[in-house]
Structure 1
């Protein structure tokens, strides 16, 4: 067997494949790995913005920034808010996208029209869609006009109890089209023989759905849960636009929004980085729990 040189050991047995993968590896390192590592560095130092080219000392402060973050009531409330968001958003996303994808996978009239209709909000600019929702859910909006005396007071987006659930429902609706496409792709891999066997056993529509469709798309469900969790934990644009920056009184603020306020607006990037590192750790732990739970069901 011919021994390979140092370059051959680096490129492996298939150098062409390595060449194709290298740009993506560089992209990940530049866009994800380096910023994350720099954020960890900032979170352990007294880091502040300076003029370009200025050389200043940024002393190591240990866990002081993390103590500051964990002792801040606004930060603790923001993490609680995002948990409320995920509890509403993730189950709704999974259930609605699977049900709608299953319906759109059937031979119905105007199927293409409905598929495009559900996908349009996902690709539409958030600013434009938020304007519609502000019209619907403000104090004198269409929703309150329809509800009449049943409308909440204060209204939806200025109500400390309803602001975050309203944001969660908005995000669920806006992103639904993307997850419907994921389920539609997964449904193509569910064998029709399984449905025929279920029909021969006398299974009804609901039984076919629960015993054939749901197990058949479980890998896609795992992906949907993880993606919904990660995107939900990074919530920023929606509360920033819908509730004027996390209002009322921080009831809809997210950790990313607080990180922006502390790090950029207030000029404390070290504190903002500590919030970001804690958020990354929390999302990883939550994703691990979800993955193990779904894996247990698959086994």
Structure 2
């Protein structure tokens, strides 16, 4: 007699557990879930499938075999000197870009948080490069750092030879600085939002105890914005891992001699320009795994979570 009500109650509990306390939230988030599935999940799954097959582009409507090749594509990627060079290049980029981005964004956010006059103007000024198209701002940096550019004119005999963007040792550092400058406004806003949650009473208590500005910054501000720092570092790492537009435009496609080629740029060159999508897919899967590992390490050591 009571089995049916019990089963009905269990079914309702399962439905409630799936949809949560507010089912309307599931309905409102459904379009974004579909977007994630279509734009991210399906391409990632298809790339994974391609990476284990001998895949090549064919004419529309043509039916061709794509035999399973196991880990052959991954072996080709891991033994390719150009791939190793591209990961080395992105390592140089990250070593320069990530710490500089986090440090400058935090320092400037703290300074902007204390500004009384023209605060809105300064925030907008820092944010403008972020929302400006890369193609437009790249022209400015080409004007600054080409052989006859403004920077070399100022440096005179101290200018590097070959110049910045055609110098194998300087091309990637210049790109890293460009990305720092372009992305800085966004990260400043993240830190500004985090600073609003730091109670002023902590700084007042520190002042009473005789703490100076540096002590307050290091002992109060830095620990208080640690979750924001973890987010900044993760986003900067993802930006570096997806680096494409900047080397493609600034150095003409990864020059000189591949010194500024990134893994994503190499995927474009090998997958589309040279017709090796299986190689590019395997490289993309390795890149995704690498980014996930680095993000987990960052979460463990910066954010302090297991």
| Distance in 2 (alpha carbons) for counterparts of 1:11 and 1:130 | 47
* Equivalent residue for 1:211, pick from 198, 204, 219: 219
* Equivalent residue for 1:107, pick from 115, 118, 127: 115
- Determine whether 1:4 maps to 2:11: yes
* Equivalent residue for 1:250, pick from 220, 238, 258: 258
Quote the residue 1:269 is aligned against: 277
Q: Which runs of 4+ in 1 moved over 2 A?
A: 1-15
- Determine whether 1:121 maps to 2:129: yes
Deviation of 1:93 after TM superposition, in Å, equals 0.3
| Distance in 2 (alpha carbons) for counterparts of 1:251 and 1:242 | 12
Quote the residue 1:198 is aligned against: 206
Aligned pairs for 1:121-270 (under 5 A) are 121-270=129-278
Deviation of 1:147 after TM superposition, in Å, equals 0.8
- 1:118-150 deviations in Å (ceiling 9; x for gaps): 100000111110000000000111001111111
Q: Which sections of structure 1, spanning at least 5 residues, go unmatched?
A: none
| Distance in 1 (alpha carbons) for counterparts of 2:217 and 2:13 | 55
| Distance in 1 (alpha carbons) for counterparts of 2:224 and 2:78 | 43
| Distance in 1 (alpha carbons) for counterparts of 2:291 and 2:15 | 38
* Equivalent residue for 1:90, pick from 85, 95, 98: 98
Deviation of 1:4 after TM superposition, in Å, equals 2.5
Q: Which sections of structure 2, spanning at least 5 residues, go unmatched?
A: 1-5
Q: CA RMSD in A?
A: 1.7
Deviation of 1:5 after TM superposition, in Å, equals 6.1
Secondary structure at 1:267 match in 2: coil
Secondary structure at 2:114 match in 1: coil
Count residues with an aligned counterpart: 298
| Distance in 2 (alpha carbons) for counterparts of 1:12 and 1:116 | 39
Structure 1 length as normaliser, TM-score? Answer: 0.96
Structure 2 length as normaliser, TM-score? Answer: 0.94
* Equivalent residue for 1:41, pick from 26, 49, 55: 49
Deviation of 1:109 after TM superposition, in Å, equals 2.6
Quote the residue 2:3 is aligned against: none
Contact 2:227 2:303 in 1 (8 A): no
